[in-house]
Amino acid sequence: MINVRSYHIVAALFQLGNSSRMKNIHILSMKYNRILKLKEAEMNTGFVQIYTGNGKGKTTAAIGLAVRAALAGERVFIGQFIKGMRYSELSLPNYIENIVIEQFGRECFIIRDPETKDLEVARKGLARSREVISSREFGVVILDEIFIAFHYRLVSSMDIRRLMLSKPKEVELVLTGRNAPAEIIREADLVTEMREIKHYYSKGVLAREGIEY
């Protein structure tokens, strides 16, 4: 279907002589091909996404993106900082083979100050994340709760920034967790803030398997 603008361009070309018409068609064809190449390059470019804020849904959104990407044929890596407990999403690789999940946390929450063991596990997770990102084996890399690790000073904003800078052009990098630092937000391509308006926790509802974990 030809839109009005295209119709007028074609009509104008046919009013020209044959040589002028062919020359202009060639120019338009070259411009069109350049646009197609730019769009193709754009579609093959990976961006940096951030899901932050005090509301529920950051990990949930990242897991949803992981499933969508995997079903589209991408290999997906999910690295979970702070978490070492059993979460339902750990079963994902049993159903979708091109999803890999690894945890960089202990089997308990950090309630007060982190211990030396927490720091050691987080640093190993950081090293593993660098390895995964630079390997180009995964089209999507999700670093879940990395901003909580930042909040507890287990990783620095410079550590996170280095991960972003080391990202190959085609890799999509997703970072989640509360308290994303302003300097990282400025450099990301997409930032979504989950804001709590109401939550059933305030009524004493406990975390439910399959919903919260």
Q: Residue 50: which CATH number?
A: 3.40.50.300
Residue 213 lies in a domain: no
Residue 211 lies in a domain: no
Residue-wise pLDDT tens digits, 136-146: 999 999 999 99
CA terminus-to-terminus distance, the chain: 49
The total number of structural domains in the chain stands at 2
Do 28 and 69 belong to one domain? no
Residue 116 lies in a domain: yes
Residue 17 lies in a domain: yes
Q: Which residues of 158-186 are buried (b: 16+ CB within 10 A; e: fewer)?
A: ebbeebeeebeeebbbbbbbbebeeebee
**Mean pLDDT of the region 23-33:** 61
**Mean pLDDT of the region 152-165:** 96
Confidence of residue 126 (pLDDT cuts 50, 70, 90): very high
Q: What is the structure's pLDDT at 18? A: 63
Do 61 and 141 belong to one domain? yes
Residue 68 lies in a domain: yes
Instruction: Identify the CA nearest to 120 among candidates 76, 158, 155.
Output: 155
Range of the domain at 27: 4-42
Do 35 and 49 belong to one domain? no
